[in-house]
Amino acid sequence: MKFTPEQKEILCSMLEHRRFPVVRFELHREDDPKHWKIERNYIYMTAPADSDELVAARSEALCTLMEQGVIFIDYTIHTWVQGDYDVYYHSKLYENLCHTMLQQANSPQTEYDLPYMRKGYVSFTPVFLRRLPRQQDPYESQHAE
């Protein structure tokens, strides 16, 4: 399986970190909780100043890895580590989304009036993990005799 540079960056980062947080930006109606839409999906950031282009490239890489069965993205989590999402809360992208929603909130044509950040985590799929070559445990080899 061949990977793009963006995919390799994500996969290496996943191996280096215990948790791999992602978010998606949603737009909601305050008066109708069932009325919402996804504004932007599969957002992975490492710094609040990450550019729109960089975030878009990573989003595409995440989507492709998911389609290939390499990763699973779970937005149904109910508990998370708050610090994992600080970069997103402080990002220019989220600030722009909130600012846009605030500007449009009083307009009668506004369909959505509430920005929402859906938190998620990325993990390797069991199928992908089974395909990886196994490394021998050094402890096992020392005590095999």
pLDDT in tens, the chain (145 residues): 899 999 999 999 999 998 999 999 999 988 888 999 999 999 999 999 999 999 999 999 999 999 999 999 999 988 778 799 999 999 999 999 999 998 887 788 888 989 999 999 999 999 998 887 776 544 454 444 4
Q: Are 101 and 114 in contact (CB under 8 A)?
A: yes
Neighbours of 115 (CB within 10 A): 18
In which region does residue 42 sit, left (phi positive, over 0), alpha (psi from -120 to 50) or beta (all else)?
left
Phi, psi of 136 (to 5 degrees): -70, 135
Please give the CATH number for the structural domain made up of 5-131: 3.30.110
Rounded CA-CA distance 25/20 in Å is 17
pTM for the structure as a whole: 0.84
Q: What are the residue boundaries of the structural domains of the chain, listed by start? A: 5-131
